[in-house]
Structures are given as C-alpha cells and as structure tokens.
C-alpha cells in the first residue's frame, strides 16, 4: 500500500491530505505537525481571536474527528529532524518513517529581533502561531503601552487590536512609509490616516536601536534618539520560508523550495506547497504568502501526486482586517508605474488600481467588495480598462467586464 507523508500541519497540509482522499487515494496518509493543536486558521489569530471574538474550536480548519474519519494519521507535537531522499525515509522524534511520496508544507517562520538588541527579553512577541498569540493575549489590557515594530500588515493588524482594546500604541517603521514593500503610497496614506484617527502613533523612517530592560522589556531606544517606556513589544518584521529540512535533504532552493509548475521539487518523489514553495508565474518565479495560495497550490499538488499532471495557475488575492475596514487585494502590483484612485459607491469605500503602462496589475479595495470583485475578474481575464476609465466616476464598472 502506498504511503504519502505530509510535513507541516497548517492550511496547505490540511488541504493537501483532504484533497488526496477526495481524489480517491486509498493508501496510507500521515500528516505531521509540530504544534499540539490540529490544523487551524492563522489569519484570525491577530484579529478576531486576539480580540476574544473567536473561540479556539472555530479556528480549526476541520473538526478534530475529520482526520480519523478519513483514515489520516495526524501526528501532532512531532518534530521531523531529517529527510533521507535516497532511502525515502524521514526521522520523526527519533523514529524512522518510510514514504513513497513526500510533501513539504512547512510554511514560514517569523523574523525575530536579535538577542543583542533585546529580542530575547520577556514581553517581546511575534505573531505567527497559536502559542504566540495565547502568550501575548494577557498583555492586551487597557492602558498598557505597546511598541509595534514593523509597519506591514501584521504590525498594523496588531496595532488595530491593541488600539481597540484601549492600549497606548506606538508603531515604528524603518522604511520611509508603512506598507512600503507591499503597497502604493496611496494605500499607505489611507492606512496611516486610519490608524492615526484611532490614536496610534506611527513613526516612519524610524528604526529600533534596542529594547531595554532587566529580564523583561521596559523600554525602547529608537534610531532618532527617542527613548520610550513600554510594557511589551510586538515584532512584525516579516517572515522567511521554512526551508531547513529541504536544504539539509539537498533539494534545490530559490526564494523557498523550488518547484516546477506542478509543485514537484528537484526530487521526483518530493513535492512542496504553500508559504515555503516558489513556483513559475508569468515568466518569473514567485512565492505567495497567502491562505488562498496555500489551499489552491496544495490541492493541485495532491492531484499531481496521484498522476493528474495539472499545472498550478496562481490567482493571487489577499485580505487584511483593521478596525472596521476590510482591505481586499487582487493581483500582484510588482512593476507598477501608476496608481489610479477611485471612490466607491458607499461612504468610506475606496480602491487603488495599479497599472504598468496600460496593463492593470492589481487592485487594493478598502470596504469596496464590488471594486475588488470586478478588479479580480478583469485581472484573471487579462483585461485592462484604461486608467482614464477607472479614474472617471461616471464609468459603469460592471460594463468593463463585457468589453
């Protein structure tokens, strides 16, 4: 009987094993995860779960009983220390486990501050897993002073939760503006104004020199010489693909674990999907850190492990919830040279349309699901209304789909 092993019990891993069974695979399946909880959603961790608006069980991607019902061996609290591609074995908690095919859905790991600048002090947190958020949740008490380090979406979401809970929030971003790596100045301006209106102090072009304290963080020294007194800190300075196992096994890496269009790595019996995997996309190679990509790519990999020979066609989309604003993003804005701003039909709704020349690349839509859906469909269909049409408030957006 064929045995498929999946390392990484997150969104991609859970989607992959479910798809294997859905596609009729009757062999043995083992899903291995390092955490004690069954596969769960990560996006709500820094939003609804941290706010106390979502119960733990609602985080679970599937009922805990699903895996037993589907005859999937779920090994939690398990650590894989090595993969031997020649022997087709892996070492799990000191035990050798054989596989016929292996999938790596190891996800990503957050960047942490070096211990030399206070990163190891108590009261310094990252937002990645359930244990991270459970550890920091008691800190979110009215009146406490928190320093958020990093002005990307994770940092901004943490700032929004802290503000809603009545904390005094300071956010520092070393780049010239928040969201500089991922969004236009227009989108940055929108979210800066949103956070400022909720009392968050945003310091852009300002780095962290060090966190200070004896055992526990009590202060921060900033690059401009400012000294802050704080009660705790949240670090949101990006993530890196978890590639250590793949690298040690001799797999080819390129911005993550390099896969072909079908999700196969440089070893024909090892596959990869989700945050950890890079893949061909429109003449280049990308890696997408998103839930939709984790699900879609994992499901394609499951099909291809069963010989279906399906190429993965990414349809990038993302979202972020901050205060009462839902940001929805369609496409990838890499290479844009113009941004068109369009006000939505409802008060407070707005969208930012990214162009490279006359080609529509991406849309950021804030509280404007209609603009998001139309933009997403246009991008996926390869259609590009002119920037002038998008900028014109009289343009019938729905009619753009018919041209």
Of the candidates 128, 112, 131, 132, the residue with the CA atom closest to the CA atom of residue 120: 112
Per-residue model confidence (pLDDT) at position 402: 76
Helices (H) and strands (E) in the chain, counts: 10, 26
Q: What is the pLDDT of residue 62?
A: 96
Say what angle helices 291-305 and 11-22 make with each other, to 10 degrees: 40
Which among 3, 10, 66 is positioned nearest to 33, based on CA atoms?
10
Q: Give pLDDT, residue 336.
A: 97
The superfamily CATH assigns to domain 324-402 is FAD/NAD-linked reductase, C-terminal dimerisation domain (3.30.390.30)
Where, residue-wise, is CATH 3.50.50.60 in the chain?
Answer: 3-109+239-305, 112-235
Q: Measured between alpha carbons, how far apart are the two ends of the chain, in Å? A: 53
CATH of domain 112-235: 3.50.50.60
What burial class does residue 182 get, using C-beta atoms within 10 Å of its C-beta: 0-12 exposed, 13-18 middle, 19+ buried? middle
pTM of the model: 0.95
Q: Encoding tokens for residue 382?
A: 């390869």
**Structure tokens given for 316:** 């990038």
The predicted pLDDT at position 403 comes to 66
- Amino acid 401: pLDDT: 80
Q: Quick one: pLDDT at residue 112? A: 96
pLDDT tens across the length of the chain (403 residues): 799 999 999 999 999 999 999 999 999 999 999 999 999 999 999 889 998 999 999 999 999 899 999 999 999 999 999 999 999 999 999 999 999 999 999 999 999 999 999 999 999 999 989 999 999 999 999 999 999 999 999 999 999 999 999 999 999 999 999 999 999 999 999 999 999 999 999 999 999 999 999 999 999 999 999 999 999 999 999 999 999 999 999 999 999 999 999 999 999 999 999 999 999 999 999 999 999 999 999 999 999 999 999 999 999 999 999 999 999 999 999 999 999 999 988 888 999 999 999 999 999 999 999 999 999 999 999 999 999 999 998 898 888 887 6
Parts of the chain belonging to CATH 3.30.390.30: 324-402
Q: What is the DSSP string of 231-249?
A: SEEEE---EEE--HHHHHT
Architecture of domain 3-109+239-305: 3-Layer(bba) Sandwich (3.50)
CA distance 200 to 322: 12
pLDDT score of 156: 96
Tokens found for residue 163: 């503000």
């Amino acid at each position: 009987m064929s045995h498929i092993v999946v390392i990484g019990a997150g969104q991609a891993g859970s989607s992959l094993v479910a798809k294997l069974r859905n596609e009729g695979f009757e062999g043995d399946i083992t899903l291995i995860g390092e955490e004690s909880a069954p596969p769960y959603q990560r996006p709500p961790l820094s939003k609804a779960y941290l706010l106390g608006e979502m119960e733990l069980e609602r985080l679970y991607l599937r009922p805990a009983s699903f895996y037993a019902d589907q005859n999937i061996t779920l090994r939690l609290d398990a650590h894989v220390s090595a993969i031997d591609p020649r022997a087709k074995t892996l070492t799990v908690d000191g035990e050798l486990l054989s596989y016929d095919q292996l999938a790596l859905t190891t996800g990503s790991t957050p960047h942490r501050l070096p211990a030399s600048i206070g990163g190891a002090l108590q009261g310094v947190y990252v937002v990645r897993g359930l244990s991270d958020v459970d550890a920091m949740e008691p800190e979110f008490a009215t009146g406490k002073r928190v320093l958020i380090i990093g002005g990307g979406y994770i940092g901004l979401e943490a700032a929004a939760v802290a503000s809603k809970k009545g904390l005094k929030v300071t956010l520092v971003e070393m780049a010239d503006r928040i969201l500089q790596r991922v969004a236009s100045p227009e989108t940055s301006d929108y979210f800066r104004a949103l956070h400022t209106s909720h009392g968050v102090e945003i310091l852009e072009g300002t780095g962290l020199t060090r966190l200070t304290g004896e055992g526990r963080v009590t202060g921060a020294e900033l690059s401009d010489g400012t000294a802050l007194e704080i009660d705790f800190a949240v670090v949101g300075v990006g993530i890196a693909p978890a590639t250590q196992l793949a690298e040690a096994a001799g797999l080819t890496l390129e911005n993550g674990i390099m896969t072909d269009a079908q999700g196969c790595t440089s070893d024909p019996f090892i596959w990869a999907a989700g945050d950890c995997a890079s893949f061909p996309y429109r003449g280049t190679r990308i890696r997408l850190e998103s839930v939709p990509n984790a699900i879609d790519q994992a499901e394609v990999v499951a099909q291809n492990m069963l010989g279906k020979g399906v190429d993965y066609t990414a349809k990038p989309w993302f979202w972020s919830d901050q205060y009462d604003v839902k940001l929805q993003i369609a496409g990838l804005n890499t290479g844009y040279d113009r941004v068109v701003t369009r006000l939505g039909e409802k008060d407070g709704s707005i969208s930012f349309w990214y162009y490279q020349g006359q080609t529509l690349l991406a849309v950021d839509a804030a509280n404007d699901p209609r603009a998001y859906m139309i933009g997403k469909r246009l991008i996926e269909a390869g259609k590009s209304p002119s920037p002038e049409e998008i900028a014109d408030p009289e343009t019938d957006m729905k009619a753009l789909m018919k041209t």
